Amino acid sequence: MLRFEKWEGLGNDFILLEEELSPEQVRRLCDRHRGVGADGVIAVEAIQASRCRMIVHNADGSRPEMCGNGLRCVAAYVADRGASKAGAVVVLTDAGERLCRPVRQSEGRYRVSASMGVAEVGGVLETPAHVGATGRPFRMVRVGNPHAVSFAPFVSEDVEELGRAVDQLVEGGANVELCKIGDGGRQVEVSVWERGVGLTEACGTGACAVVAAAAGAGQLPFDEPIDVVLAGGVLEITVARDSWALTMVGPARRVFVGETLV
């Protein structure tokens, strides 16, 4: 029997355990009809009391370089065991070390501030005319993993079609974010197509990519917290003007603890 914990951050849900599984086992566990059901599986390997490594697999068994919502869940998971010192947890990811500060709000519920590394804002991907009927520009951004961000007008029915099409256009695939800047210039609404998962309630690295792209284009300010409104809730993202360093603040919640056959 395999012991696990189910955690979620803004509806982006994960199976956390302390051993790495094969891609086939991940796919079986993530199946929402025949398995536990989740957007991904994260293996948490202890290094020291307040340091750990996270190994992420998407629901299709693929390995993303980074996962922001998963990062918050891992930090909360470590803190939930009383293992963090001075309120800080260092998580080693495939994209580098990330310093997290989980704050317990109630039983199994945390609010986590996490350093998300440095945004790399790249060029523009011009999609063919048949993608989204007339084509549209996507700004490419790396936040440990690749993102394609568009601020062109869209309707909710476009998200799945555009997400799948743009994901296939980028070598190695990409997460896709369709965005709308809110009134007042301190908020942005985002719909997400996640590589290896599909439509998701939220994407932490995607929220970071959107704010970095918008700040670089002068649509949102640097050095101020921006509310990123996703289907699953709100993340607070700040990007530094001098370094492009990103900070993410958002929730993580333990859903249940269980055992399963693999």
Residue numbers annotated as active site: 67, 203
Give the phi and the psi of residue 68 in degrees, each rounded to 5. -70, -45
Cα→Cα distances 143→57, 121, 153, 183, Å: 17, 9, 24, 26
| Cβ–Cβ < 8 Å for 194, 5 | no
Burial class, 102, CB count within 10 angstroms (exposed 0-12 / middle 13-18 / buried 19+): buried
- Which element (helix H / strand E) includes 237? strand 233-239
**Identity at 231, one-letter amino acid code:** A
Task: Determine the 3-state secondary structure of 174 from DSSP.
Answer: coil
- CA pseudo-torsion sign 71, 75, 81, 85: positive
Residues present in the chain in total: 262
Relative to beta strand 137-142, strand 120-126 is antiparallel
Cα→Cα distances 254→36, 176, 257, Å: 14, 27, 8
Tokens of 65: 């370089």
Distance, C-alpha 40 to centroid of its chain: 11
Enter the DSSP assignment of 85: B
Q: What is the CA radius of gyration of the chain?
A: 18
